[in-house]
Structure 1
Amino acid sequence: MLLACSGVLAAPTSVSAVSADGGSRITQVKVYPGSATVERTARVPAGARSLTIRCLSPQLDVQSLQVQADAHVRIGESSVKVQDRDLDKECATPLDDQVRDAEDRVASAKAETDSLELATSYLRTVATVPPSEPHSGPGTPGSASINGTTDTLRRSSQDLLLKLHQSKRRQEAAELALKELTEERNRIAGPKARTSTVTITLASDREGELRLSYQLRGPGWSPSYRAALDSTSGVVKFERLALVAQNTGEDWRNVQLALSTGQPTRSTAGRLPGPWTINVAPAEQFTTEIRAMPAPAPVAASKVTLMSMGDRGAETTPAMPNFDVQVSDDAYATEFTVPQRITVPSGGQRITLSLGSLDARAQLVSRTSPGVEPAAYLIAQLSALPGVWPAAPVALYRDGAYVGQGRLDNNSDELSRTGLSFGRDERVVVTAEPQQQNSGSAGFTGANVERKVQHAYRVESRHQRPIALQVLDAAPVSQNEQIDVVSQYDPLPADKAWNRRPGLILWSETLAPGSSLRFTAAHTLRYPKDARLQESK
């Protein structure tokens, strides 16, 4: 429900001033990661001397408040007051009235249930007190008050118990309805909602328009993507998505929405280095300590949500909407402008908005790391995508089937080298042969150890067409001059430092349908006998 409401109040002056009731509405919202700029418009009546806009979000940043108006409307000072929403009756929402009505229905149902339970208790007393027993108190029936038969008692108790059961059901339904309304009201405005009130001093001889903009902390948006691979054509369709959410206490209903990659909540100036001094430690200290400057604290990622399409309250049939998002890039930020008007209710619901799509042709390879896992995966290697694609999660689809989640990083060489993985390639069979290893003495005096390790893998293709195959394996890398490493491969690898990582071996081959290839890597390590090796994989 829209919490934004406003009124026009007359400020006390020495001359007569116009007092009228007006309304403000949100017309534009620009959402950043972690904040949003909201713009409201309000009509200024002729002769008005002040304008009060009530029921704004309590998260309003006073320092960001800006007031603009038509040329003939003169603006004076402005003030902001934050108070509990209950103190301003004009900020009541339809949900408040519905909650009060629901509370009345619960009270009525509970009163009926209690009265029927009292009657039932009285009836039980009548049935259990012997007729000959004297009165023990007011209202206690004796033999003279039982003027009927057991059949009359049965009919009376049956009718009473049935009414009691139905009354309890009505009470349960009323309490459930009250709980749902209360949770919805708390979701929108919180259990202890507060509101901001902005009062603007002005002077206007004729009717005009006033625009109020302010910054809100908390709302935000975050990117996400969908990538759908057509394995036959090798084309990947990327769809840019945005998740927008806000819990400010005021609904953004039927507004013009823009999403910006700028972050005004971040620091406006970077940290500067301090002096680096070196001195001799006092005589009692024998070590010199050089302290590195602390690294800047990482900026927390902001959480984001989206919006519903159009104004749900519209009674007329709207024209066919245009969903082509306009993208504008400047030197420091990218802005996405949504062409249709959007409704983003307060309460934190995550709404997904499409920001456009792009088709990219990929090179498909089956990649396996048999030393780690005897399985192959289908990889799409692509060139960098044009435009702005911030690093974000991506939902992966292969030939129309969902295969899982990945991460898209268009700002590095991840797409061209590592690529996007679209699940296992079940038609490639990978076998890792047992590792062969032996060691012995080496050198004229036998002061060295010679250790030989061999890895062997076999990859078979059951595809009906040739496939590009990549096999990855780790080779030992010496980090000490006392350790000598000699490696031999069959066939020769295409890269001995794949993805700029020394010791990561890449075989790249074309595998014919129904054929198989064997890959071997033999490593010889020589090091002194008294050396203790430290290995990490």
Structure 2
Amino acid sequence: MPQALPLLSLLTLAGLGLHAQAADTLRQVTLHPQGATVERALALAPSAQEARFSCLSPELVADSIQLLPPAGMGVGEVRLELKPAELLPECERGSKVRELEQQSRQLQAESEALAVSLNFLKQLTGKELPPGAKLSETLETLRRQTVDQLQRQQALRERMDALNRQLAEAREQEGIQRQYQVLTVPVDSAQGGELRLVYRSEQAGWTPLYRARLDTTSGRLGLERRAEAAQYTGEDWSSVPLRLSTEMTRDSGGAGMLSSWTLDIDTLDPGEPRPAPAMTLYSAAPAPRMEVKPAAPGMPPARKRVEFNPEVFAGEFATTYALPGRQRLLSGARPVQLSLGRETVEADVYSRFRGQVDHDAYLVAELARPTGSWPRGKLQLYRDGTLVGDAQLQFSDEAKVEWLFGRDERLRVLSLPERLDGSKAGLISKRRERQIERSYEIENRTDKPLPLLVLEASPVSQHADIRIETAFKPEPQAGDWREQPGIRAWRQTLAPKQTQRFSARYKLSAPADALVTGWR
């Protein structure tokens, strides 16, 4: 028969059972453009009297806390305390510091191995070497190996210096942030269950990035969505299901009141001060942007990029990207870049020349807004795999947008000197006239046809006394280009090796004594 436990031991175990619990689990993190929503879960044993969530962000927004108990569980008043990490052994921090220290040890070992290799090469130079033709061959081999080892040693020294700077910054940051919020709440449940905690932290966020890749051979335009994510919450999200949402967590749009618009007669003397106008328009202040601390100079490159294929949920008010697997996003670490998917979009690719503003033709991709959510963000433009420029992706109310993929060297462009002829009519008409002629020659240097758009800004009269006669060769498209007054467009496909001349001639007439703006 087993020996009975003393009464004191039974009481001790019972007391421990009232308070002992498993650690909470980080269930999910949703990053917003500004801020993050964090969800944790805690498994409570039957008859548990208190739930405790530790290691919470010191930047936690208290009024965002939500406790979601299972059916049959009651919760009491929430108590939130900020405690130093020294009192919370379960919140062992320093994962980033430990990781950097491990990298430093690996680099140090590699440095010592290089030193041994160099020392061996130096000892070889002092030994007897084979005479004759083999001597020069041996010396050349020693020289190449010594140069290679010295270059590797220099590169390794630079990596160690950069890593030491990063390690010092991480240690400093860890010393400042070594405190956590601890949430405790009384519970009442006979069956136990899983208690969920949802809260928000403002010190996190993500920024959309895009890459447009144009293949000039096929004419296809690929568009890649990307995201740059970072967080400074004080928590380390080392293995967490991560979601990216376009929804703003604190949107103050619509704030303010609309005042009445009143009209009155001004009876004040001219010298008296005027009151402020009665009509006031209120606009909501823009949401604050996440201040991301820039990386120190000389930091090592980001870790190997992992490509994701997320499932996209397009909601009524926002879009959420659910990344597969578990992600790693440490507090205070360098921002990470994530791929949110790729697609091929329909685009009209052509060369464009604007004689009054450009000296060269440019390759343009014209496209309508693709389906889905496309928040404004930085756009990188690649042509045949080479980065040719940066732009801002912003789909406005216009039907189409244009992206420039650099100068089009396949075309030779020649702007002929502008011809100006000015004259005055006789005393009867008392009018002055001017004739202007612009001409351009564009040559297709390739062995394949190239679509071309040439734009010309023609004068537009704003007064009945200003008369304009125009003559184009060849005849441009009818009407103004994209309803822009005076902008005329030639659209043509240049055959291989073809040279085409475009000319515009204007005859301007206005009263001789009139001051005409834009008259040249």
* TM-score normalised to structure 2 length: 0.74
**Shift in CA distance, 476/322, structure 1 to aligned 2, threshold 3 Å:** closer
CA contact (8 A) 2:259 2:279 kept: no
After the TM superposition, which of the residue ranges 240-249 and 486-495 deviates more from structure 2?
486-495
Report the secondary structure of 1:402's partner residue: strand
What residue is the counterpart of 2:483 in the other structure?
Answer: 500
What residue is the counterpart of 2:320 in the other structure?
Answer: 335
1:137-536 aligned at under 5 Å gives the runs 181-187=167-173, 189=174, 191=176, 193-267=178-252, 269-285=254-270, 293-294=280-281, 296=283, 299=286, 302=289, 323-347=308-332, 349-413=334-398, 416=400, 418-442=401-425, 444-445=427-428, 447-494=430-477, 496-535=479-518
1:163-217 residue CA offsets vs partner (Å, 9 max, x unmatched)? xxxxxxxxxxx99998654421344x57355432212121234543221100111
1:339-375 residue CA offsets vs partner (Å, 9 max, x unmatched)? 2211111115221111111123433211111222221
1:212-268 residue CA offsets vs partner (Å, 9 max, x unmatched)? 100111311222222222212211121111221111111222111111111121116
What residue is the counterpart of 1:30 in the other structure?
Answer: 30
Kindly state the Cα deviation for residue 525 of structure 1 after the two structures are TM-superposed.
Answer: 2.8
The letter of the residue matching 1:470 is L
**Shift in CA distance, 98/252, structure 1 to aligned 2, threshold 3 Å:** closer
Provide the C-alpha distance between the structure 2 equivalents of 1:472 and 1:225, rounded to a whole number of angstroms. Answer: 29
What residue is the counterpart of 1:7 in the other structure?
Answer: none
CA contact (8 A) 2:244 2:322 kept: yes
Return 5+ residue gaps in structure 2 as ranges.
Answer: 1-14, 102-159, 293-305
Provide the C-alpha distance between the structure 2 equivalents of 1:507 and 1:370, rounded to a whole number of angstroms. Answer: 12
Amino-acid identity (%): 32
Provide the C-alpha distance between the structure 2 equivalents of 1:95 and 1:528, rounded to a whole number of angstroms. Answer: 81
1:269-300 residue CA offsets vs partner (Å, 9 max, x unmatched)? 44442100000001524999967644625625
Report the secondary structure of 1:374's partner residue: coil
RMSD across aligned C-alpha pairs, in angstroms?
3.5
Provide the C-alpha distance between the structure 1 equivalents of 2:254 and 2:38, rounded to a whole number of angstroms. Answer: 25
After the TM superposition, which of the residue ranges 34-43 and 84-93 deviates more from structure 2?
84-93
Aligned length: 433
After the TM superposition, which of the residue ranges 509-518 and 262-271 deviates more from structure 2?
262-271
**Shift in CA distance, 97/220, structure 1 to aligned 2, threshold 3 Å:** closer
Provide the C-alpha distance between the structure 2 equivalents of 1:84 and 1:208, rounded to a whole number of angstroms. Answer: 29
Which structure is larger by alpha-carbon Rg, 1 or 2? 1
1:2-61 residue CA offsets vs partner (Å, 9 max, x unmatched)? xxxxxxxxxxxxx99812253123210111110111001123244332223233112211
Provide the C-alpha distance between the structure 1 equivalents of 2:497 and 2:176, rounded to a whole number of angstroms. Answer: 67
Provide the C-alpha distance between the structure 2 equivalents of 1:490 and 1:175, rounded to a whole number of angstroms. Answer: 66
CA contact (8 A) 1:385 1:410 kept: no
After the TM superposition, which of the residue ranges 364-373 and 43-52 deviates more from structure 2?
43-52
Kindly state the Cα deviation for residue 398 of structure 1 after the two structures are TM-superposed.
Answer: 1.9
The letter of the residue matching 2:283 is P
Provide the C-alpha distance between the structure 2 equivalents of 1:295 and 1:536, rounded to a whole number of angstroms. Answer: 43
Kindly state the Cα deviation for residue 85 of structure 1 after the two structures are TM-superposed.
Answer: 4.9
Provide the C-alpha distance between the structure 1 equivalents of 2:361 and 2:161, rounded to a whole number of angstroms. Answer: 57
* TM-score normalised to structure 1 length: 0.72
The letter of the residue matching 1:38 is V
**Shift in CA distance, 420/495, structure 1 to aligned 2, threshold 3 Å:** farther
Provide the C-alpha distance between the structure 2 equivalents of 1:333 and 1:177, rounded to a whole number of angstroms. Answer: 40
Provide the C-alpha distance between the structure 2 equivalents of 1:420 and 1:406, rounded to a whole number of angstroms. Answer: 8
